[in-house]
A and B are shown apart, each in its own frame.
Chain A
Amino acid sequence: GESVGLHLPTLSVQEGDNSIINCAYSNSASDYFIWYKQESGKGPQFIIDIRSNMDKRQGQRVTVLLNKTVKHLSLQIAATQPGDSAVYFCAENAGGTSYGKLTFGQGTILTVHP
């Protein structure tokens, strides 16, 4: 379903630490999930995606975990850098007749301190 965040969750970490950003999704029919990074005043930037037939996928410094049982998605960023500071959104796609249509989560503000 839709979600609107009036007060975005925040996560503050020190440079070099690992970050974990969580997302709960609502539609059990969703079969495709994406994480986006959005810097201030810019459009969302694709980070990594995962399909429902997988529970883990790794990219460069990032890992996405999917737990369909509890409808939970997480993004792990290794060795977080100041340039990772941004708002992170998860998005879900139910597929089927809503092919391509994404529903965004509320977002999490990540702040990385040098």
Chain B
Amino acid sequence: GAVVSQHPSRVICKSGTSVKIECRSLDFQATTMFWYRQFPKQSLMLMATSNEGSKATYEQGVEKDKFLINHASLTLSTLTVTSAHPEDSSFYICSASASYTETQYFGPGTRLLVL
């Protein structure tokens, strides 16, 4: 149980385009989903917390207009990187947490490369 998937696993895009990443909880309902970014050889940095049916809460320094998060259902959250630039190239990881536990289950990550 507690499986989280992400799609796509890898994406390459041109600078200036937008990219959407999906995060799904496959076998449980996720009241809360989290989005992290991880640069090479570094730790995970929380970008935003998303609760189903409400606006995401962004961490300090994360531009909400650039990283659009939608959590329209209890099993799906999306992260859209708008007008992507090479410095947005990173490993984006989501996690999901059910309401009755604090344990976060992580997705496999999405590698974004912006050319």
Q: Are B49 and A7 in contact (CB under 8 A)?
A: no
A58 adjacent to chain B (CB < 8 Å): no
CB distance from B53 to the nearest CB of A (A): 16
Within 57-109 of B, Cβ neighbours of A (below 8 Å) are at: 93, 95, 97, 102-109
Q: Are A100 and B34 in contact (CB under 8 A)?
A: yes
Minimum CB distance partner of B49 in chain A = A101
Which A residues are in CB contact (< 8 Å) with B32?
100
Number of A interface residues in the complex (CB < 8 A): 29
Q: Are A5 and B41 in contact (CB under 8 A)?
A: yes
A6 adjacent to chain B (CB < 8 Å): yes
- Known contacts A43-B106, A46-B103; A101 and B34 CB within 8 A of each other: yes
Tell me the interface secondary structure of chain B in the complex: strand
Tell me the interface secondary structure of chain A in the complex: loop
Q: Are A100 and B109 in contact (CB under 8 A)?
A: no
Residue from A34, A36, A99, A102 having most chain B Cβ neighbours under 10 A: A102
B44 adjacent to chain A (CB < 8 Å): yes
Give the 5 A-B CB pairs with smallest separation, nearest first: A43-B106, A44-B106, A104-B43, A104-B44, A43-B109
A interface residues (Cβ-Cβ under 8 A, vs B): 2-8, 32, 34, 36, 41-46, 49, 89, 93, 95, 99-107
